[in-house]
Amino acid sequence: MFRAVRLSTSGIRSLTQTRPCYSAPLASRCYSHAKVETDEEFDARWVTYFSKPDIDAWELKKGMNTLIGYDLVPEPKILDSALRACRRLNDLASAIRILEAVKDKSGPHKDIYPYLIQELQPTLIELGISTPEDLGMDIL
């Protein structure tokens, strides 16, 4: 009985520790022959997704929901692309919601959101997007 317990703990440890195959947070299995997408490819794919000139509201929402499901906070360039898609769709609400979402995604890491706002400042000014803090929407 104890051997089974020890085997299962070492099994779990090896599952959580030996993961050289993934840097991307997508649903990747540990097949050694599968091609793993690099972070840059991942980012580029999402920037392209939101850059579609005739993106529709559903695709925007679907894209954001999928993106938020990953174990990462989206890069500023992905968010920039998404905010511009909101601009094309005349959707200010979604633009502000995106900012709220990435703040929530950061969880306990409080240094991520200020960094993102810093990087997105030119875009926010250009597109005329207020942050939740500007609107007083960040307090519960």
Where do contacts with another protein occur on this chain (CB under 8 A)? Answer: 5, 9, 12-13, 16-17, 23, 25, 39, 71-75, 106-107, 109, 111-112, 114-115, 118
Tokens 């920039």 — which residue?
80
Give the residue among 10, 78, 94 at the shortest CA–CA distance from 43. 78
- Min separation Cβ 133 and another protein, Å: 16
- Min separation Cβ 23 and another protein, Å: 7
What tokens does 91 get?
Answer: 């959707």
Burial class (CB in 10 A: 0-12, 13-18, 19+), 21: middle
For residue 79, CA distances in Å to 47, 63, 69, 84, 111 come to 8, 11, 15, 8, 17
- Min separation Cβ 94 and another protein, Å: 21
Q: DSSP secondary-structure letter at 35?
A: P
Q: DSSP secondary-structure letter at 70?
A: S
Length of the chain: 140
C-beta of 23 vs 48, nearer to another protein: 23
C-beta of 3 vs 53, nearer to another protein: 3
C-beta of 55 vs 67, nearer to another protein: 67
C-beta of 9 vs 66, nearer to another protein: 9
- Min separation Cβ 56 and another protein, Å: 28
